Amino acid sequence: MSMIAEDTLMCDREWGDTEFESKILRNLLGCYPTGVAIVTTRTADGRDVGLTINSFASLSLDPPLVLWSLVNHSPNLAVFRDCTHFTINILGHGHQELAMRFANPRIENKFADVATHLTPEGVPALHGAIATLVCENHKQDTIGDHLLMVGHVRRIGSEAGKPLVFHGGSFTALHEAP
Ligand SMILES: Cc1cc2nc3c(=O)[nH]c(=O)nc-3n(C[C@H](O)[C@H](O)[C@H](O)COP(=O)(O)O)c2cc1C
């Protein structure tokens, strides 16, 4: 093998592929473990809406801002874009079924038999979440194929518990480092 060919191979190995299908990218992004949350809100006519997300991230401490993103073909795009507040409910490791329920578009009323309370801001919060952040809808922007939602954190709460984890396309839990 010539030096040039070897260099090219090295280059590929060191710097990676510049052409890839989005499925490949999605699988690669799955190498990055995340927590799992359910974002909830209430429409002006009193209907509760929520979905499972793992795009949640902290953005700023001062002011306290968080972000998440909603796929732009979501049936609830307008609901979240126009809401005044939403709740980020961070799930514990026993909440896998709840996460799957709120990720299933075929379930008409995801909130049936799910314990919630209404926050003073008028949005539902799920009982048992290990952390709850009630956010004012601060900013939204369509970026790529998602609506980026930025929330100003107005109220927080927490309960003891370990988080549910999403990694490689599956739910898992934290394990002690060896
Ligand atoms: C672990 C996990 C994370 C998800 N993260 C997001 C996300 O960040 N944004 C998003 O738009 N959909 C996300 N989804 C998909 C939605 O939960 C799913 O499309 C859901 O059906 C949307 O509810 P809706 O159709 O009632 O709006 C995720 C699903 C799972 C299982």
Question: Per-residue pLDDT tens for 71-121?
Answer: 999 999 999 999 999 999 999 999 999 999 999 999 999 999 999 999 999
Cβ(54) to ligand 1 under 6 A? yes
Cβ(34) to ligand 1 under 6 A? no
Dist. CA 52 → ligand 1 center (Å): 5
Strand-pairing partners, residue 173, are: 164
Kindly report the average pLDDT of the chain as a whole number: 93
Cβ(91) to ligand 1 under 6 A? no
> What pLDDT band is residue 13 in, cutting at 50, 70 and 90?
low
**C-alpha–C-alpha distance, residues 10 and 76, integer Å:** 46
Tokens of 15: 């710097």
Dist. CA 80 → ligand 1 center (Å): 13
Q: Which residue's CA is the closest to the ligand 1 atom numbered 26? A: 105
CA-based R_g, the chain, Å: 19
Tokens of 154: 């107005």
**C-alpha–C-alpha distance, residues 137 and 82, integer Å:** 8
pTM: 0.93
